[in-house]
Chain A
Amino acid sequence: DAGITQSPRHKVTETGTPVTLRCHQTENHRYMYWYRQDPGHGLRLIHYSYGVKDTDKGEVSDGYSVSRSKTEDFLLTLESATSSQTSVYFCAISDSSAGVGNTEAFFGQGTRLTVV
């Protein structure tokens, strides 16, 4: 298994509170991604990073921010959690940009977040 660790694995939080999810990799891969997965929507990209301090928005970035101060860590912050952000969050890593070459994205185990 690729060395990706997400923490926490489960979290329940109240509406309006900030929440930070952490993704840690030991593969030294350049690219890191945060996705959310909801029934009927599949995986939707929130933010991604193509290097330390280099990040960009994905399809559903509103209400989320990210930071990458080290190659191995990619943090996702919900600035003020809402019930619509209840979801399963996956971190993924890849050695080159998605779709270029025979690129596999390796996924973490996911974080189940419930906003009440």
Chain B
Amino acid sequence: QKEVEQDPGPLSVPEGAIVSLNCTYSNSAFQYFMWYRQYSRKGPELLMYTYSSGNKEDGRFTAQVDKSSKYISLFIRDSQPSDSATYLCAMSDHSNYQLIWGAGTKLIIKP
């Protein structure tokens, strides 16, 4: 079993829909949670960062962490075709240099 599980998709939704992307993890020591967006043939770029539990909002994006369930989510409101990309979750504890990554979910927003 991988430390971080993420459904690869693709997830296809119509423009304007609310999108929910999720990751589950097994290591209860993880405290730092990140979402990266990766466009085709580009490197990943950081979208959202959350420490410990709770919600964080940035424009149309909301990141949610539920440590009791070992589950994190990224919500995208009013989705746009430009949101079409692969979304990767990443996480770590405070004691090492390594981010542990999900495999990424490919998201397609249909105009």
Q: Which residues of A contact B (CB under 8 A)?
A: 31, 40-45, 48, 50, 56, 58-59, 90, 92, 97-100, 102-110
Contact = CB atoms under 8 A, between A and B. Distances in A.
Interface string B80-108: 00000000101111101111011110000
A108 B44 CA distance: 8
Ordered nearest first, which 5 A-B pairs have the shortest CB separation? A99-B92, A107-B43, A42-B103, A42-B101, A99-B32
Nearest to B6: A42
B98 A90 contact: no
SS of A interface (majority) = loop
B104 A42 contact: yes
Given A42-B88, A98-B99, 7 more contacts: A48-B98, A92-B43, A99-B97, A100-B32, A100-B94, A110-B42, A110-B43
B99 A99 contact: yes
B49 interface: yes
Contacts of B43: 90, 92, 107-110
Contacts of A45: 98-99
Contact of A99 (B31, B45, B102): B31
Interface of B: 4, 6, 8, 31-32, 41-46, 49, 51, 88, 90-94, 96-99, 101-104
B41 A41 contact: no
A41 B98 contact: no
Contact of A98 (B8, B88, B92): B92
B41 A98 contact: no
Contacts of B94: 99-100
21 contacts: A31-B97, A40-B103, A41-B103, A42-B101, A43-B44, A43-B99, A44-B101, A45-B99, A58-B98, A59-B98, A98-B97, A99-B31, A99-B92, A99-B96, A99-B99, A102-B49, A103-B49, A104-B46, A104-B49, A108-B43, A110-B41
A110 B40 CA distance: 11
Given A40-B8, A41-B103, A102-B49, A97 B97 contact: yes
Contacts of A48: 97-98
